[in-house]
Amino acid sequence: MNEIHSYYSPNDLYNKIIEGLNEIGKDLSKVTLDDLQPVDEFHIRGDTATKELIKLSGFTPDMHILDVGCGVGGSTRRLSHEAGCCVTGIDLSDQYIDAAERLTQLLNMEERVKFHAASALELPFEDNSFDGVWSIQMSMNIEDKLSWLKEVYRVLKPGRPAVLYEVCGHKNTPQHFPVPWAQDSSMSFLVPPEAFRNIITSAGFDIDVWNDKTDLAQQAFSHMTEPTGEPNLPELGVHLLVGNDILTKAYNLHRNLDEERVSLIETVAKKPK
Ligand SMILES: C[S@@+](CC[C@H](N)C(=O)[O-])C[C@H]1O[C@@H](n2cnc3c(N)ncnc32)[C@H](O)[C@@H]1O
């Protein structure tokens, strides 16, 4: 867990994002969700995927949703903005949570969007306290997926859904490293989709929706070529979150997808009434 925490712990992250915004000439009093998207939605297919998940979730303004492994909170804020609900995000990285809180203030969204530094394996909330949970591409870093899902189950109200959008393993192993979520295999715990499905049901959930999104992920990364020389990185991008070797990581993700070493699953799992 310490290794994973340090992987997601850039220094002075908020100020680096502000610097990036300044460099591209954004007026800080008018920053929008879309302006931050290149850096704050750190998952395959970015805001396009987040919008699909929002539709799929059916979350409504009267609800309070928990985002487990929220990163710097881009999809947390987008969910609140589009569905109108209150959203609480938790993440292992205190640096990400600090940036998440300050970016939320910058967008004047702090009334409905809150954050806490916490582990997905020990959620600091009462039983049956949320109307919905969502978790976006965090479980790759979680070895004990059953404990994570039992925690999600515990904090959900009966009859309510967990929306999960997760990278899984595939037919072939091993994966190529580094990848965006891990420098090497010691930080990455992928299970094939069928095993993931079994863990979800073992935690007590009924599966309502199960969509394999691997082909869309393959398309999204199809342009990646092997990087050479000094990387040409944009002012704002997820390299600010996980380092300047991001192009190598994205290229390896492309190879893993094409060679059927990783897959991408979107699912809605319901806690029975
Ligand atoms: C690939 S990022 C995705 C972040 C965010 N969901 C998004 O889509 O922008 C994975 C995130 O999982 C978090 N994470 C990893 N292990 C965790 C754990 N045990 N508990 C909480 N968060 C964790 C990391 O700190 C990181 O922010």
pLDDT of residue 1 exceeding 90, the answer is: no
pLDDT of residue 189 exceeding 90, the answer is: yes
Q: What is the average pLDDT across 144-149?
A: 98
Say yes or no: CB of residue 164 within 6 Å of ligand 1: no
As beta bridge partners, residue 263 has 168
Percent of the chain whose predicted confidence (pLDDT) is above 90: 98
Mutate to test the pocket of ligand 1, among 52, 67, 91 (most ligand atoms within 8 A of CB): 91
Whether residue 245 lies inside any domain: the answer is no
Question: How much is the pLDDT for 10?
Answer: 94
Closest ligand 1 atom to the C-alpha of 67? Answer: 6
Whether residue 19 lies inside any domain: the answer is yes
Whether residue 244 lies inside any domain: the answer is no
Output the CA 109–ligand 1 centroid distance in Å.
21
Output the CA 70–ligand 1 centroid distance in Å.
6
Which pLDDT tens digit goes with each residue over 48-90?
999 999 999 999 999 999 999 999 999 999 999 999 999 999 9
Whether residue 70 lies inside any domain: the answer is yes
Say yes or no: CB of residue 196 within 6 Å of ligand 1: no
Whether residue 93 lies inside any domain: the answer is yes
Alpha helices (H) along the chain: 2-7, 13-23, 33-40, 46-57, 74-83, 94-106, 145-155, 193-202, 214-221, 239-242, 246-258
> What values do phi and psi take at 98, rounded to 5?
-60, -45
Report how many domains make up the chain: 1
Q: What is the average pLDDT across 99-109?
A: 98
pTM of whole model > 0.85? yes
Which pLDDT tens digit goes with each residue over 155-167?
999 999 999 999 9
Whether residue 52 lies inside any domain: the answer is yes
Q: How many CB atoms lie within 10 A of CB 62?
A: 9
pLDDT of residue 173 exceeding 80, the answer is: yes
Question: How much is the pLDDT for 118?
Answer: 98
Residue 116, H or E segment: strand 113-117
Whether residue 150 lies inside any domain: the answer is yes
Whether residue 254 lies inside any domain: the answer is no
Say yes or no: CB of residue 57 within 6 Å of ligand 1: no
Closest ligand 1 atom to the C-alpha of 41? Answer: 9
Domain that holds residue 74: 2-165+187-214+264-270
CATH number reported for the structural domain that contains residue 147 in this entry: 3.40.50.150
Which pLDDT tens digit goes with each residue over 22-47?
999 999 999 999 999 999 999 999 99
